Structure 1
Amino acid sequence: MNLQMLPSHPWFGTWLGALVVVPLALAVYRLGGLLLLRVTRSTPALHAMVGKSRSAARWALPLMALQAVWQAAPDDLRFIASVRHLNGLLLIAAATWLAVRAISGFTQGVLAQHPADVEDNLNARRIHTQANVLSRTAMTMVLVAGASLMLMTFPGARQVGASLLASAGVIGIVAGLAAKPVFSNLIAGLQIALAQPIRIDDVLVVEGEWGRVEEITGTFVVLKLWDERRLILPLTYFIEKPFQSWTRHSAQLLGSVFIYVDYGMPLAPLRTELERIVRAAPEWDGRTFVLQVTDTTERSMQLRLLATAATAPLAFDLRCRIREGMIDFMQREHPTHLPRLRIDAGQEPTP
């Protein structure tokens, strides 16, 4: 094509506008990004959101500027409708990507402000649970909205959807039944985020298994069991079924140990030994310990030994330490007072 004829080409003004607005949009992206990073430096959540969104904004701003150029072009320009449609699809995809990155960055900033690797992490675990569940729900809704907007740009897709809804009622019912678990988990996720029956790092007893909440996704909960196995449960389980929570209001626990001894066992030495074991145990949190006779049978007494610990794993280790220490003490100092079956000479054993 002759260069002298180029200004008279129908697309000349439109392409010239595109060549102008793209560098301007990139300049706005760079300067605006640096300005926002500086302004939000004192707000970690917003600062992380801006930093996480920059890669998506690099594409969204030029596409937005180009869409304005295509919309300003004459409607009778050849292929302009297809260019507008293609640019619109790319712009929706970039905007969806930008929204997802912004949500992810804001969530990371919130989590960074509340580390969970501290001794008293109850509030941090509450915030981690809310932030993770709500961010995943928001990202899912953004992705669904973006996909829906992209489909709505195709007239054929709207017609197919309308005809399916109008003429295929059975398919609609089947689709509704198939989508029920998805919406149930979505609603359960919102309930867990707001009411918080469970939180990240909570200690639970579920289905007879002891474990810690390792991850809460948009559809299921990962429970890390004491032996490194993972128990996967749907979100709806924690809304519909009962379970034990050992860290609902505090991670502190009262550990118990039960021991059976003969009636001849003196209790004072046992209390002294319990005090020695507990005070020497690194797992004890210094709150309380006690030894009590909680039951009796025709052959033995039931002793309950209580001691407190800061967390569930420490309480388990403390219980084991007390149990082992008390058994060793009784075997060494009072072996004759361990539970045993007595049979008098000349009499049959009592059944």
Structure 2
Amino acid sequence: MTKHTTRGLWAILLLFSSLCMAQTSGESEDKEMRWFSIDSLNTGLGTPPEAVSRKTPRDSVRSFLELTKQRKFSAAAHLLNLSELSDAEQREKGAELARQLAAVLRRGEWMDISDLPARQDAVIEDPSGQNPQAGRPRRNLRIASLEAEGRAYAIRLARYRVSDEDPVWLFTPDSLTPAPLLYEKYGPSWLEERLPQSLKSNFGMLQIWEWIAIPVFLLGTGLVGWLVYGLVGLVARWLPSGSPSIFASEIKLPLALALMTVVAQILLNYVVSFSAVATTSFRILLITGMAWSVGLIALRFVDVILLKVKRRLVGEIDDTKPRDERQLLTTLQALRRGIILVTVVAVGIYILSQIQLFETLGLTLLASASVLTVLLGIAGQAVLGNIFSSFQVSLAKPIRIGDLIIFEDQWCYVDGIFYTFIRLRTWDERRLVVPVQYFTSKPFENLSVQTAKMYRMIELALHLNADIQCLREKFIEFAEAEENVIEHHKLCCYVTAQTAAAQTMSFYLMTSEPFAGWEAEMNVREKLLGFIRDNHPEWWPREVVVTSQHDITGGERPTTGPATAAAESGAGDST
């Protein structure tokens, strides 16, 4: 064997040895990632009884809750990692810590045990592959998060292994340290401590005494709300008429809701405490009720200010009011919609942050982003389109509240501009509710953009021998007598069309505003028609039919042309 061959064999052996060591090291590191290695575990408690199951996170929590429900706190202590205590302290304090932690878990935060991992390695199973943590073993899990004295405390499970024994899932020492403090806040109330043990047995998801206490609790808080509602109503009637009285009457319901939530929270903090499933539900309801009541009170305050400004505009708003006042009212309503939108978003964010749904909501959105995008695009397209169109109308102001418009051949006043629709008031006092997006997609005529005054035109079809100058003088006389006709120097009358037997006369007049102009136009037309009927009925247009003797004897009728008809008309003969 040559020297080069020997060196090659040594190199291959070294490379193979390095690969084996790397693989062994990787396997060792992979095992270390699956559990926490400790030297000893709860040596002061002795051997765990057979009822204790600690292989998976789900088994550990279920076993812990079942044992504590049976008041076997010494056995439940084997599900706690008491390694930071001495053997004597483990025997002395283990059962008490188990009792306190069980009470905190039952009352602090509701959790579904079926949501906990059922695998020993706590691997996240995600067949869709959208969760980046899927497929990785875990050795530390947070199962609850509670607050006490302004600080948040996490209740965790961790996987431990002693030498060659099977790894087990236990509550971590960090979860046991704040247990006495959390027990003071979430532990049983003085009322529950005085109840007989028979009422503390479980019936469904709640204990027997809770099925009795919860209806009484709801009835008591509801009675408080009813009393506050009635009292605020009396105060509103006692106050002098005006903004204070209106504001008091408008905040009856939200103020009653706010005080109901305050009373309910006081009762939950100092009088009675329920199981976690009831406490979590009440907590969500109280947070939602308080947030919405405060938001509604703020919106009612804005509404009262808006109403006060509107009343200062004197009466019902229409296009006869000054343009600045109509524009101010439109701007105020746009501001109100903006405040409502900001309030709704702020209240929604506050509620989600308080009930700690952002984490799960975010994961859900990430897991099904494509599905939600399609659903929101289809279901929310009309609503979002109307909202954005509403803000577009409010900012660009192609219409203002009180403007007179012609929309789809109907005369309408703009009665209100809302989030998703525009309310129009027709001349006969009907209300048209039009989606904003539909309204902006259709052409309309705004008769009040710059000024409310407008030209009106009257057309009359008369005989060719009608006296134009006479009619012009009468038109000016009748128009000047109308109160709503303005700028008399712009009154005019012209012959705008002519046929073989008739002529069309057009009369133009300027009016102060469209609806009054329509009324003035009708009045002047009636007077002109009455003048012609009473004094010159021969000015009415008439059809001339010419016959001949040959027609009478049954011969062929000659063709009558325009010239012949005109000649016969001039002679005044009509057969």
CA change 1:294–1:181 in 2 (3 A) is farther
Map 1:39-58 → 2, pairs under 5 A: none
Per-residue CA deviations over 1:245-290 (Å, capped at 9, x if unaligned) read 1111111121111112222111222122112222332332454552
1:98 aligned to 265, 278, 297, which one? 297
Query: Aligned pair 1:284/2:478, yes or no?
Result: no
Output the CA distance in 2 between the equivalents of 1:327 and 1:134.
Answer: 51
Q: Which moves more between the two structures, 296-305 or 339-348?
A: 339-348
2:533 aligned to 308, 331, 337, which one? 331
TM-fit CA distance, 1:326: 0.9
Cross-structure match for 1:314: 516
1:176 aligned to 377, 387, 407, which one? 377
Map 1:1-351 → 2, pairs under 5 A: 88-115=287-314, 117=316, 119-156=320-357, 158-160=359-361, 162-167=363-368, 169-285=370-486, 287-288=488-489, 290-299=491-500, 300-344=502-546, 346=548, 348-350=559-561
For the residue of structure 1 that corresponds to 2:509, the secondary structure is strand
- 8 Å contact from structure 1 (residues 56, 98) kept in 2: yes
Per-residue CA deviations over 1:139-172 (Å, capped at 9, x if unaligned) read 1431243134213322357514531442252233
For the residue of structure 1 that corresponds to 2:510, the secondary structure is strand
- 8 Å contact from structure 1 (residues 89, 150) kept in 2: yes
AA at the equivalent of 1:342:
V
TM-score (norm 1): 0.72
- 8 Å contact from structure 1 (residues 46, 106) kept in 2: no
- 8 Å contact from structure 1 (residues 283, 315) kept in 2: yes
- 8 Å contact from structure 2 (residues 292, 347) kept in 1: yes
Output the CA distance in 2 between the equivalents of 1:156 and 1:132.
Answer: 33
Output the CA distance in 1 between the equivalents of 2:371 and 2:533.
Answer: 74
- 8 Å contact from structure 1 (residues 114, 124) kept in 2: yes
CA change 1:337–1:126 in 2 (3 A) is same
- 8 Å contact from structure 2 (residues 491, 510) kept in 1: no
CA change 1:58–1:226 in 2 (3 A) is closer
AA at the equivalent of 2:472:
R
Per-residue CA deviations over 1:222-264 (Å, capped at 9, x if unaligned) read 2223344433321123433321111111111211111122221
Q: Which moves more between the two structures, 143-152 or 182-191?
A: 143-152
Output the CA distance in 1 between the equivalents of 2:489 and 2:419.
Answer: 41
Gapped regions of structure 2 (runs ≥ 5): 1-186, 191-241, 549-557, 563-575
- 8 Å contact from structure 2 (residues 327, 401) kept in 1: yes
- 8 Å contact from structure 2 (residues 480, 488) kept in 1: no
TM-score (norm 2): 0.46
Output the CA distance in 2 between the equivalents of 1:84 and 1:213.
Answer: 44
- 8 Å contact from structure 1 (residues 50, 102) kept in 2: no
Output the CA distance in 2 between the equivalents of 1:48 and 1:252.
Answer: 37
Output the CA distance in 2 between the equivalents of 1:184 and 1:230.
Answer: 23
TM-fit CA distance, 1:193: 1.4
Q: Which moves more between the two structures, 238-247 or 115-124?
A: 115-124
- 8 Å contact from structure 1 (residues 122, 251) kept in 2: no
- 8 Å contact from structure 2 (residues 257, 293) kept in 1: yes
Cross-structure match for 1:32: none
TM-fit CA distance, 1:341: 2.6
Bigger share in helix: 1
Output the CA distance in 2 between the equivalents of 1:85 and 1:120.
Answer: 48
Output the CA distance in 2 between the equivalents of 1:190 and 1:317.
Answer: 35
Runs of 4+ displaced beyond 6 Å: 9-12, 44-55, 57-64, 81-86
Output the CA distance in 1 between the equivalents of 2:286 and 2:430.
Answer: 48
CA change 1:86–1:265 in 2 (3 A) is closer
CA change 1:323–1:135 in 2 (3 A) is same
- The alignment-based identity, stated in percent, is 22
TM-fit CA distance, 1:52: 6.8
Output the CA distance in 1 between the equivalents of 2:451 and 2:560.
Answer: 50
- 8 Å contact from structure 1 (residues 197, 238) kept in 2: no
- 8 Å contact from structure 2 (residues 474, 528) kept in 1: yes
Q: Which moves more between the two structures, 183-192 or 139-148?
A: 139-148
Output the CA distance in 1 between the equivalents of 2:417 and 2:358.
Answer: 35
Output the CA distance in 1 between the equivalents of 2:499 and 2:285.
Answer: 87
AA at the equivalent of 2:505:
L
TM-fit CA distance, 1:311: 1.9
CA change 1:107–1:162 in 2 (3 A) is farther
For the residue of structure 2 that corresponds to 1:115, the secondary structure is coil
TM-fit CA distance, 1:88: 4.3
TM-fit CA distance, 1:309: 2.0
For the residue of structure 1 that corresponds to 2:491, the secondary structure is strand
Output the CA distance in 1 between the equivalents of 2:288 and 2:423.
Answer: 37
For the residue of structure 2 that corresponds to 1:265, the secondary structure is coil
CA change 1:91–1:296 in 2 (3 A) is closer
CA change 1:48–1:283 in 2 (3 A) is same
Per-residue CA deviations over 1:72-114 (Å, capped at 9, x if unaligned) read x9xxxx99x9697766444423332232223222322332333
Per-residue CA deviations over 1:31-84 (Å, capped at 9, x if unaligned) read xxxxxxxxxxxxx999998997798679869989x99xx99x9xxxx99x9697
Output the CA distance in 2 between the equivalents of 1:55 and 1:236.
Answer: 33
TM-fit CA distance, 1:10: 11
- 8 Å contact from structure 1 (residues 132, 216) kept in 2: yes
